Amino acid sequence: MPKLATWLREKDEKWFQLFFDKHPEIEIGNARAGEISLAKADGLLLTGGADVAPEFLKQPVPDPSVLDPDVDVARDRWEFAALDRAFARGLPVLAICKGMQLLNVALGGTLKLDIPGHKLPEQKDHDIQPLRSDTRATHQFEKVNSSHHQAVDRLGTRLEVESWCASDDIIEQIRLRDYPFALGVQYHPERGKIYDSLFKDFFSRLTNNR
């Protein structure tokens, strides 16, 4: 049985469970609930959460007050280590929202620490933010449900932009060049009904990776 490693907050479980239920052949290991074996994992899912803790950032933080007060250092430490292990083994990686930002930081990139206009209540659950996408991107969506107050700034090593906000060019989707599958999305596919193809692609790679 393919194994997926992740760190999933309790309040997010209901959203992801809808997609997990469509793939009962995959065993989910949630590091928040207990220790899991990364050596036996077939893929890594990085999900949303509080801002990356400042001690892991590759940049100065002029105004610490813009950061979430409830950063989770233990989670960040686990996710950075898990990402290193996944890359070393060529495992598929899907990084969502905060996960995309962590992916960028892990590869030496920086973040816009506080941006306006991207965390309105209606943006989280409705596909209303228009995107523009590179024609080579496998997964392209005209509008997405993106809600966040930070964003990718300088890209990490070998990361490429696949999609960006049509109104202000904020990066919304990135991929790791010359790697089997490492995709970061700033939006929340787990909360939408148009993203089945993205999850199906990711989960199929876990099965093929065995």
Quote the pLDDT of residue 111. Answer: 97
Q: What is the pLDDT of residues 115-161, one digit of tens each?
A: 887 777 777 777 888 999 999 999 999 999 988 899 999 999 999 99
- The CA distances from residue 15 to 24, 158, 161, in Å, are 16, 31, 26
Predicted local distance difference test score (pLDDT) of residue 127: 86
Residue 190 annotated as catalytic: yes
In terms of Cα–Cα distance, which of 38, 30, 33, 37 is closest to 84? 38
| Whole-number pLDDT of residue 10 | 95
> How does the average pLDDT of the chain come out, rounded?
94
pLDDT band at 27 (very low <50, low <70, confident <90, very high): very high
pLDDT confidence of residue 44: 98
Q: Would strands 3-6 and 27-30 be described as parallel, antiparallel, or unpaired?
A: parallel
Catalytic site residue from 118, 148, 162, 188: 188
Which pairing describes strands 151-152 and 143-144: parallel, antiparallel, or unpaired? unpaired
Q: What is the pLDDT of residue 124?
A: 72
d(CA 27, CA 124): 27
Q: Which of 97, 118, 148, 162 is catalytic?
A: 97
pLDDT band at 34 (very low <50, low <70, confident <90, very high): very high
pLDDT, tens digit (0-9, with 9 covering 90-100), for 46-78: 999 999 999 999 999 999 999 999 999 999 999
Predicted confidence at residue 148, as pLDDT, reads 86
Tokens at residue 61, please?
Answer: 């933080």
- The pLDDT-based confidence of 25 (bands split at 50, 70, 90) is very high
- Give residue 163's Cα distance to chain centre: 14
Which of 79, 162, 172, 190 is catalytic? The answer is 190
Does residue 190 surpass a pLDDT of 90? yes
Distance of CA 123 to the CA centre of its chain: 17
Give the per-residue pLDDT at 115: 87
Whether 79 and 105 have beta carbons less than 8 Å apart is answered as no
Q: How far apart are alpha carbons 38 and 86 in whole angstroms?
A: 8
Residues 154, 109: Cα–Cα separation, whole Å: 5
- Do 162 and 198 meet the contact criterion of CB atoms below 8 Å apart? no
Cβ atoms within 10 Å of 15's Cβ, excluding its own = 16
> Position of tokens 């790697």?
179
Our answer to whether residue 97 is catalytic in this structure is yes
The residues pairing with 85 across neighbouring beta strands, listed in sequence order, are none
In order of 124, 145, 196, the CA distances from 113 in angstroms are 19, 20, 30
Task: State residue 116's pLDDT score.
Answer: 81
**For the segment 72-114, what is each residue's pLDDT rounded down to a tens digit?**
999 999 999 999 999 999 999 999 999 999 999 999 999 999 9
Q: Residue 126: its pLDDT value, please? A: 78
Residue with tokens 């199929």: 204
